[in-house]
Amino acid sequence: APTREAPPGGGGGGCMDVLGAKLATQVAAAVHLETAMMEHTYSHPDPAEKQIKAAKKALQIDLKLTGVMGKRTVHQIDAKAQMVVMLHRENGDANFRDSDDESESDDMETCPPPPSEIP
């Protein structure tokens, strides 16, 4: 019987599978958001809304547009009404990081390099 070999680059599962799944989710969400922007540009609100809902589902987030009272600058004396977007992660992940965050993800620190990159 033929034996199944591991794919090149490790493919042994574990950490690399998790990173691959996260990347696939992020790419899928990005495609949905880009498609939504295109639909919006060409005045197709219903298809755009469907794409945004698909991106939210892929990222497991819920967005809520609301208002809060607050100050935008240190020079502002009175609090003013401001529109904000509230984000809630459905999976309860408290380690959500912004893409502009300069620190590396915890997952990246624990993953060994692929066998092809080991000297």
**Is the pLDDT at 53 greater than 90, yes or no?**
yes
**pLDDT digits over 1-32, tens only?**
555 555 555 555 566 677 788 899 999 999 99
* Contact assessment for residue 37 and residue 55, using Cβ atoms and an 8 Å cutoff: no
3-class SS letters over the chain? CCCCCCCCCCCCCCHHHHHHHHHHHHHHHHHHHHHHHHHHHCCCHHHHHHHHHHHHHHHCEEEEEEEEEECCCCCCCCCEEEEEEEEEECCCCCCCCCCCCCCCCHHHHHCCCCHHHCC
Q: What percent of the chain has pLDDT over 90?
A: 48
**Is the pLDDT at 62 greater than 50, yes or no?**
yes
